[in-house]
Amino acid sequence: MNLKKLTTLFAAVTISCFSFSTAFADFAYGDRGEEIVEIQKQLAVLHYNVGTVDGIFGPATEKAVKEFQAAKGLTVDGVVNDGTYRNLMNKEMPPDRYGNHAMTRTILRTAYSMLGVPYMFGGMSPGGFDCSGFVCYVFRQAGISLPRMADTQYDAVTHVNTSSLRSGDLVFFQTYAPGASHVGIYVGDGKFIHASSSKGITVSEVFTGYWGARYLGAGRVYN
């Protein structure tokens, strides 16, 4: 959404995205990536059924983790924390992948948990989101305050080259007006998660198709 076009609508909505939660480093339901692949592989070696080794911490992986935890006398919560990771992988938790991997996990976990939530003009809660409201909400859960609108978010970030994009960065698009009028969260592999006016919270390609033709740039919120 573009601030200049919607000043009147949001004049009464003065809610800032204040931070209130702390990021966490555990691997849990909704996480994805190469580290999840390694966890799944090790569980499979130990004869726990993770379903497909696909790098997605879904129901089957969570169930396998719980079974492993029960067998080892650990707290059975389906979360791979330091203790569970050490017992499973026989090593310590991996070092930061991106300089702040806990923050990235928190952001992506929250974002993916909102898949399918409908688009709502002006929305910034799980009842419905617009594009910048979704970004603002997700980052708020990780303890980061962002401006409310896409164009002011664009002005607030540290701009990065496309070749330097990493998961958790913001990607911006120019749609109905000059400047940033749409925003989403980069998740890797050329994809981003965002609030689509036609599909709600969904994952789309950044650099091809409709969005590729309207790509404006990317920005980093945290290091």
What are the pLDDT digits (tens) for 173-184? Answer: 999 889 999 999
34-89 is a CATH 3.40.1190.20 domain? no
Residues of the chain with CATH 1.10.101.10: 34-89
Q: Are 162 and 13 in contact (CB under 8 A)?
A: no
Query: Model's pTM, two decimal places?
Result: 0.65
Q: Which residue in the list 17, 101, 136, 182 is annotated as catalytic?
A: 182
Mean pLDDT of the chain: 85
Assign 3 a pLDDT band (cuts: 50, 70, 90): very low
Beta strands in 93-181 (DSSP E): 124-125, 128-129, 158-160, 170-173
pLDDT at 101 > cutoff 70: no
Beta strands in the chain (DSSP E): 124-125, 128-129, 158-160, 170-173, 182-188, 191-196, 200-205, 215-220
Residues of the chain with CATH 3.90.1720.10: 99-220
Query: Cβ–Cβ contacts within 10 Å for residue 148, how many?
Result: 22
Closest C-alpha to 205, from 135, 196, 124: 196
Q: Which residue in the list 47, 131, 136, 159 is annotated as catalytic?
A: 131
Assign 100 a pLDDT band (cuts: 50, 70, 90): very low
From first CA to last CA, the distance across the chain in angstroms is: 26
**Is 194 in the active site?**
yes
99-220, CATH topology level: endopeptidase fold (from Nostoc punctiforme) (3.90.1720)
Sheet holding 191-196, edge to edge: 158-160, 215-220, 170-173, 182-188, 191-196, 200-205
Distance CA 85, CA 79 (A): 9
Distance CA 120, CA 51 (A): 35
Residues 6+ apart with CB under 8 A from 175: 181, 182, 214
**Is 131 in the active site?**
yes
Q: Which residue in the list 17, 101, 136, 194 is annotated as catalytic?
A: 194
